[in-house]
Structures are given as C-alpha cells and as structure tokens.
Amino acid sequence: MSEDKFPGWHGTTILAVRRGGQVVVAGDGQVSIGNTVIKGSARKVRRLSVGGRDVGGGDVVCGFAGSTADAFTLLERLEKKLEASPGQLARACVDLAKDWRMDKYLRNLEAMLIVTDGAQLFVLTGAGDVLEPEHDVAAIGSGGNFALAAARGLMSTDLDAETIARRAMAIAADICVFTNGNLTVEVISK
C-alpha cells in the first residue's frame, strides 16, 4: 500500500522463544500512528480456539504484527485451517500461506504471524512464507530485530524461555520507540 494511503501504523514487537520443552510468545502492548501512541495495552498474543475448544489437537498460540483487522482476518482463517486439519499445525500454516498469497482479497492484508503449538514454531508472511526459525527464536514487528538479537544473545545463558523472552522484550522496549514494556505473555508446552 502506498505511503499516502497508509497512515503509518507502528508499534508491535512479537517474540517467540523455544527452550526446555516450552515455547513462550511475548508481545508488547503499544499501538502508534506516526509519533503518537494511540494505545499502550493492546493484546497481540492470543490462544486460538474453535467453537469454544482448543484447536489443532491442543493449544495453539499466535502473535501478530501489522494491521489489527488484517491480523484478525488471518487468525480466523488459521482457526478454520486448524479445524480442518486437527493436530497438523504445519499443514494448516502452509494452507493459510497459500490462500494468503493467491487469494485476491487476502493478498492485500498487511500483517505477519508467529504461530506455535509448543512443538513447532512458524513465522507466516503475506509473501507465502512459512518459516521455521533457526536458533529457537523468532521475532516480528517494528521492534522485532531488537528483540531477536537480544534473545539470541541470551540463549547462551542458562535462563528459561520465559525469562529470556521478558528480558529480550525489555531490551527492545528500551531501543524501539514503537515498543513498550506492557507485555502479554503466553507459555505453551508439548
């Protein structure tokens, strides 16, 4: 979308850390337009369910960056894919990425997702990517590179996944003006 049509929404850092049989997904709460903070307590990390029950043969946790309405559209589609392929997170993610890339409506959605079931961890993009991150760390959003670098550095310590995620997000919040320290953290084990 051209810059004159897009109002300059910023303000997301989502980080996932896998260690010791757990995956922790953390997201900050800031939403900004330009240099103005619109909200500081947005919840950008969620557990997915279909019909009031967990999907995919168990919990699935997703964090999103980008347009909120676009991300919710993608989360709804992912829930349907998980319902159609219970327990097959990779298949559901690939099917969503195919639709996202090829569907005329979905192709215009501006968001990214981190998705995990506690065993598998994926980053999904509108370019059709379903990426398994190296080093058991993934990050997206405006402060994603800061959080990713901090978490990768902390992976050489004996800290648990949640502590690494929280410390890395604090570092990102200190550096990125579009990231705050108001975290939503979900922990999932397999």
The predicted-structure confidence for 83-109, as pLDDT tens digits, reads as follows 998 889 999 999 999 988 888 778 778
Report residue 119 as tokens.
């065993």
135 in any annotated domain: yes
1 in any annotated domain: no
Q: What order of strands is seen across the sheet that includes strand 184-189?
A: 137-141, 13-19, 22-27, 184-189
31 in any annotated domain: yes
Instruction: Report how many domains make up the chain.
Output: 1
190 in any annotated domain: no
Is 13 noted as a catalytic residue in this protein?
no
pLDDT at residue 138 above 90? yes
Residue that wins the pLDDT comparison between 18 and 85: 18
Catalytic residue among 12, 13, 116, 179: 12
pTM of the model: 0.89
CATH classification at residue 73: 3.60.20.10
* Bridge partners of residue 29, in order along the sequence: none
163 in any annotated domain: yes
Percent of the chain at pLDDT > 70 equals 89
59 in any annotated domain: yes
* Bridge partners of residue 124, in order along the sequence: 113, 130
Domain that holds residue 129: 9-185
pLDDT at residue 133 above 90? yes
69/49 Cα distance (integer angstroms): 18
pLDDT score at 18: 97
110 in any annotated domain: yes
3 in any annotated domain: no
pLDDT score at 50: 56
